[in-house]
């Protein structure tokens, strides 16, 4: 997912199901889902260029702060830490920003490294 509040919202739907489909959420959830995609801490770790980092809008920041109150975030301290970094720095990034390192960087470098190091939360 992208390193923005909406990426976390997408993860929450996979984890707990959508509110619109709550009647069938038991068969549509993945409660043990892990965050493998681009995280706020990755922006510095992978030296993502400044031009690939996007300023969060006021709505993004508001959404991030609202997410901090959600159970799925409060129950996962590592996710909370990433969300705090995002809101404090007021920066977000889309996973395709990693292609600034080359067209195949995501598939040949980023994901293999994440998988090799067990770098998911």
**Number of residues in the chain:** 121
| Helix (H) or strand (E) segment spanning residue 60 | helix 58-67
What are the two backbone dihedrals, phi and then psi, of residue 31, each rounded to the nearest 5 degrees?
-60, -20
- Asked if residue 22 has pLDDT above 60, the reply is no
CATH topology for 5-117? Dna Topoisomerase Vi A Subunit; Chain: A, domain 2 (3.40.1360)
Q: Express each pLDDT in 24-60 by its tens digit.
A: 556 678 889 999 999 999 999 999 999 999 999 999 9
Question: For 55-80, what is the mean pLDDT?
Answer: 96
Question: For 1-16, what is the mean pLDDT?
Answer: 91
| Backbone CA torsion sign across 86, 87, 91, 94 | positive
| Beta strand segments in 26-120, E | 54-55, 91-92
- Residue 59 DSSP class: H
- What is the predicted pLDDT for the residue at 62? 98
CB atoms under 10 Å from CB of 67, counted, come to: 21
- What is the predicted pLDDT for the residue at 28? 72
- Asked if residue 20 has pLDDT above 70, the reply is no
Domain positions in the chain are: 5-117
Q: Express each pLDDT in 83-99 by its tens digit.
A: 999 999 999 999 999 99
Give the Cα separation of 101 and 117 in Å (integer): 20
- What is the predicted pLDDT for the residue at 95? 94
Give the Cα separation of 121 and 78 in Å (integer): 7
Give the Cα separation of 77 and 121 in Å (integer): 10
């Amino acid at each position: 997912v992208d390193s923005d509040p909406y990426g976390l919202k997408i993860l929450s739907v996979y984890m707990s199901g959508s509110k619109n489909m709550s009647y069938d959420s038991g068969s549509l959830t993945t409660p043990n889902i892990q965050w493998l995609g681009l995280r706020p801490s990755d922006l510095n770790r992978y030296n993502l260029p400044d031009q690939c980092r996007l300023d969060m809008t006021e709505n993004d920041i508001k959404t991030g702060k609202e997410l901090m109150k959600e159970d799925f975030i409060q129950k996962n301290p590592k996710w909370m830490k990433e969300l705090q970094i995002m809101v404090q720095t007021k920066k977000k990034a889309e996973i395709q920003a990693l292609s600034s390192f080359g067209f195949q960087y995501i598939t040949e470098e980023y994901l293999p490294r994440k998988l090799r190091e067990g770098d998911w939360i």
